[in-house]
Structure 1
């Protein structure tokens, strides 16, 4: 894959299956260079393979499809080129979509009521005078902000305390009815108070000083359940809980498990039989902030609260949503495991049935009333496709990555096992370019650190392999998917066993594969991967060059500048000056001699740009060959969801850097001008 082929990456959403099981609908989005944005529409996927998938909407960016419980209406989010996502509905049999929200900041997520006549949705409510709510008042002209809390901004969003996410309920209009028309002439003069917008009025249900998330209706539709941090002292910890509120409005009531543990609840879903609350949660220790490498577990408790049962093993399973009902009292969940993402079916009474496993990354799945299951997934040869699950086997229904495979070679990753110096097993992959070699090698380190590489299609590895590089990547201690002990091994020990693991994995690959050139090796990584890259080149000088991207580089300044700085560094490195210095790349930057490209984004609030600027300045001052690549308007997610132009340009700069220090036949330095 070449940087200019980013537009061939078709990403597929979790599927929405029709209640009758005949079809599923997904959104298919891709980077578009002409729009310098992400575009996409909804596709209908027949589960009958004699019929063909087809595009059913024509919006600029249509996402998040969901059928009403009665199957008559399809709801989705639509974004215009410079607009915010709004909620639209269309008859499931086809027709013209109708917009039913007009939220200033757009709609974030939504959920159908059981009666198929109402939808609950989440939207940020900006304070009057901010974020363009008053004509003529720009961002630079807003009133000053007086900040007294720890949690006041978030990467990709900015300030949060003056635009809390609240929950709303909107009535879905009769789609077959006559559309409203704008008043004109005498009617406009005689009825000035009547405004006809065609958008029904939504009722705001929550008003608390916190973000309200994961709304779902009770089985009878009378109540809304949601997740928020509304407890006293919520600014001092990471605890969130489940609440219930009347679907027509009122005071929220906490629905608490009897365990008494401090938890972060990520998602809640009512069972279709109305008896249970399923929810995903992480234990946060005694402080409510001990988040390091905490696996997420699925729990079930009675609908009114009380004794909660943990349904998944907290040590070895790390589950996530979307929670989708699979029966009257069971749900589907995803499980991060050994470089894959599995699909599990879990009933409230206990027991787990694996449905999809192996070398795949499941994106989402839904179950129809007749038991048909639609699954979206990615693997080594597809960015995303849809399949039906039949007798434990996936039956492929789409081929959205055909254009990618037809126009570029897909280098399938080789599964590799290695052993660290203390005997700990390390799992990872090797992606080889064409030709016999010996190939220069790029050691890639993932972010997180509690995250994982997988064997699924990875644009980074494919771009580098196409340019002639062998890509080595693994999941060292600190990563997710291999149990909590594996993830928590670097708590207050960053840069120890994790560095030894990635170097042992690299050495093992170099020794085992003759096609790798052990004398021409580079190292690179982003976020935590930027941290470990910067830390490693201060201790190991074998690398011809390095790239440190959006790195966590100085725990001291990170504490006061990052959106998560108030808790992250203290939990990972420990909070004393001595602990921070012992694990700080800035503290050992003086030992670096490796040529280093530092990449950062101006709007990165997760690892603020000062981290990269100060690191670059330090290397520059001591004579290390270095450069600082800064992207305006981008945040911490540049490499994954930045504008298509910047994503392509980022790849081009990275390849130029490697061409300078590790040239290949297909990636040569620029000719002098």
Structure 2
């Protein structure tokens, strides 16, 4: 058996965005090409009776978002035109070559079929011709950049367009000065659900403005959510067009981090909670590093009027039904994407497990019976020593804490171990394939993971227990996980235990650097060291910092006592452990100045410290960054630990 290696990024494939028809299911398949260093996505269909697999799309490189019209005659998808601009392409379901449909000179950002399947709705972003010479960029808005998107231009205008299948030119429906999202189309063809920021100029208001746009008279109707700070996404209209499902966060108080399902009644404008237990978490918050190009769908109405939603629970993602959120598929897996067929009885699910990166499943919604349709990594799984982690839990400080331990891929008498800390902090490890953890286990490390207080999938009280308490109970939870892992595997060498993590996990790594000598070496990625500068330089600093540290909606820069109290930089005089600092130069979530400050302070203290800067890399480096740099990053961490055995 072969060991899992960092370069296996080029071998593993992942699936997403299933789209069901009466006799087949379309889906995306994404792989990474080593020669071009690109993430390549192709569209396939599997016939539900014969299981025959057929490729659709253009060249199988940048085809994405398969969408079938209502009568099942046409497949629409996004692909690049000759000028490398995203356009909608059409292809007959019966086969034949795909053809370019839209010709937007600015490119299509999102699209949907009209209800009768005879036209495409799409959005585009226009801007005036810009000078090619270097010039200063002027910013007047508080949100002027965002991680992974770069700096925002303030001369853009946003449009909703429609183009009939038989028309040569599109029709302009809606124009706005601020970005808006195309989210759902009613089955009667009357309404389009759209959303935009409630007040794009208010730095302290994260709420969405959700509204219906009438395609007939081109008027908008405001959806009153009665949640002044709530952020909501329209997921799906009911078959009769009278109900609209939403997922989102009501955000009533700073310690309300619930992610819930809501319904909106078109006739009377009533917006209400659509789940009986509002502590069940809608969507997925699982931390992993392989999934790509997912739809983000959290809920859907089936043709029989039944609602289905994804629920994140104790490290797994389940498919549930109705307001009771009754589990239909509740196994130790992460459901990554799904769709319900027109018969209302069958669902198609892409999912991951700790030992399988990605599979496509067919699910009987009546009986719960299910079967795999396709596993793109079957050969890989059979030929590699993939570690099935041991789930564990223990009681501490009034909480039941859950984690997973990856033993070394090869049995060793005495071996090192590494504690991994996820980001967020409101994310979660779980029942999903995590390539980097497998790489570490293949190199002889026992890998310890834990969902400390603050993690998702255990209810709002657990999720918010870290607020105002960073580096306290959460940090102690993680140290306790190291102790517990040593009872599970008594061959762990207690003198060779290492620590690494990114984002919030980077904060914890920096906190441990300045609060304990327990770890042999530390590698901290995209970390937080100084909350004062984090507040002013992070793309979410002005909202995230006050909520997490002070349980407040608005920041108070004068409260330096709190900001400094939770800053690892404040305790750098106690640092001794050799530490590697890894940071992306285009990280706007935890800007590189965080790593730079920590690096210089440690150097001044004489602590053994190195910094690794990753060009053209943002906060998502380890998940969707340049593939060669993802591999360099993994190798750098193991090299650092090996240097400090």
TM-score (norm 2): 0.91
Greater alpha carbon shift after TM alignment, 94-103 vs 322-331:
322-331
CA contact (8 A) 1:114 1:220 kept: yes
Distance in 2 between residues matched to 1:159 and 1:493, nearest whole Å: 33
2:634 corresponds to 1:659: no
Match runs of 1:248-397 below 5 Å: 250-257=218-225, 259=226, 261-285=228-252, 290=254, 294-304=257-267, 306-312=269-275, 313-319=277-283, 321-346=297-322, 350-370=323-343, 371-390=345-364, 391-397=367-373
Match of 1:7 among 10, 20, 26: 10
Select which of 186, 200, 207 maps to 2:175: 207
Quote the Cα distance in structure 2 between the aligned partners of 1:522 and 1:456: 23
Counterparts of 2:157 and 2:312, CA distance in 1: 28
Tell me which residue corresponds to 1:170: 162
The CA deviation at 1:78 is 1.7
Distance 1:92 1:468, change over 3 A: same
Q: In the TM superposition, what are the counterparts of 1:6-45 in structure 2 within 5 Å?
A: 6-18=9-21, 20=22, 22-45=23-46
Q: Give the aligned length.
A: 617
Report the CA distance shift for 1:343/1:544 in structure 2 as closer, same or farther (over 3 A): same
Tell me the CA shift for residue 261 of structure 1.
4.9
| Aligned-partner Cα distance in 2 for 1:82–1:417 | 54
Matched, 1:598 2:571: no
Offset of 1:143 from its aligned partner?
4.7
User: 2: CA distance between counterparts of 1:566 and 1:618?
Assistant: 25
Aligned to 2:197: 229
SS at the partner of 1:463?
Answer: helix
Counterparts in 2 of 1:84-233, with a 5 A limit?
84-104=85-105, 106-125=107-126, 127-130=127-130, 137=132, 141-147=134-140, 149-160=141-152, 162=154, 166-174=158-166, 200-231=168-199
2:29–2:43 contact (8 Å) kept in structure 1: yes
Change (3 A) 1:54 1:411: farther
Cα 1:463–1:486 change in 2 (3 A) is: same
**Do the aligned residues in 1 keep the contact of 2:235 with 2:298 (CA within 8 Å)?**
no
The answer as to whether partners of 2:420 and 2:447 remain within 8 angstroms in 1 is yes
Deviation at 1:159, TM superposition (A): 2.3
Instruction: Tell me the CA shift for residue 507 of structure 1.
Output: 0.7
Query: Does the 8 Å contact 2:316/2:430 carry over to 1?
Result: yes
| Structure 1 residue 341, shift from structure 2 partner | 1.0
Q: Which moved more, 1:59-68 or 1:240-249?
A: 240-249
Indicate the SS of the match to 1:579.
helix
2:512 aligned with 1:532 = no
Q: Deviation digits for residues 620-639 of structure 1, max 9, x if unmatched?
A: 11111111111111111010
Tell me which residue corresponds to 2:438. Answer: 462
User: Deviation string for 1:238-258 (max 9, x for gaps)?
Assistant: 11131122336845331214x
Tell me which residue corresponds to 1:489.
Answer: 465
Are 2:476 and 1:500 aligned? yes
Gap regions ≥5 residues in structure 2: 285-296, 551-555
Question: 8 Å contact 1:297–1:314 — kept in the other structure?
Answer: yes
Aligned to 1:181: none
After TM superposition, the structure 1 = structure 2 runs for residues 550-565 of structure 1, keeping only pairs within 5 Å, are 550-565=526-541
- Aligned partners of 2:639, 2:359: CA distance in 1, in Å? 33
- In the other structure, the counterpart of 1:51 is 51
CA–CA separation in structure 2 for the residues paired with 1:337 and 1:163:
43
Q: Can you list the C-alpha shifts for 1:14-51, whole angstroms capped at 9, x where unaligned?
A: 21011x1x210111001111111101211112222x43
CA distance in 1, matches of 2:599, 2:376: 41
Flag structure 1 segments of 5+ consecutive residues without an equivalent: 175-198, 663-673
Distance in 2 between the 1:152 and 1:428 partners? 38
